[in-house]
Amino acid sequence: MIDQTYETLTQLGQPGEAPETPEAATLDCVPNPHADTPYLIRFAVPEFTSVCPVTSQPDFAHLVIDYVPDQLIVESKSLKLYMASFRNHPGFHEQCTLDVAQKIISAAAPIWLRIGGYWYPRGGIPLDIFYQTGTPPEGVWLPDQGVQPYRGRG
């Protein structure tokens, strides 16, 4: 029997297809089982893809999303499908990175969030985008995001 708390989930336990667009995607959230304890959740998305809105060429990034949940946590399957919705989505690196952050903030209302968008080079220039909602909560361990700066070959 499914717990009453999870009846509103739209994707977990269902066949999963990526939404047509990021705007059409839903991020499902579930109650935080440790809402009284500040802790960090990390999602790493090493194969994020979108499309350049000018050239229609694919863009690739490694996204690292860290957040301190409040009452809700993001259900990971819905996040995976949301990320896949960017594959044919035209958007500049800055837009895509911040759109991901804003979608999580809107869905889960975390206490704190940071995102690092480590984009692979296009035109010979790698571009990294960073955003956070404010000062991290005191006492929460914030590990380095672990993505090395782009070095090219060798």
Domains of the chain: 29-132 (3.30.1130.10)
Q: Check pLDDT > 60 for residue 1.
A: no
Lowest mean pLDDT among 12-21, 45-54, 143-152: 12-21
**Mean pLDDT along residues 27-52:** 96
Lowest mean pLDDT among 48-52, 81-85, 90-94, 145-149: 145-149
What pLDDT was estimated at residue 71? Answer: 97
In the chain, the N- to C-terminal Cα span, in Å, equals 54
Lowest mean pLDDT among 18-22, 27-31, 66-70: 18-22
86 exposure class (CB count in 10 Å sphere: 0-12, 13-18, 19+):
buried
Six token digits for residue 14 = 């269902």
**Mean pLDDT along residues 50-68:** 96
Higher-confidence position of 38 and 122 = 38
Other CB atoms within 10 A of residue 100 CB: 27
Q: Which residues are catalytic?
A: 52, 59
Angstrom distance (rounded) from CA 17 to CA 85: 9
Tens-digit pLDDT profile for residues 60-74: 999 999 999 999 999
CA torsion, ordered 49, 51, 52, 56, to nearest 10 deg: 140
Tens-digit pLDDT profile for residues 90-110: 999 999 999 999 999 999 999
Mean pLDDT of the chain: 90
What pLDDT was estimated at residue 44? Answer: 97
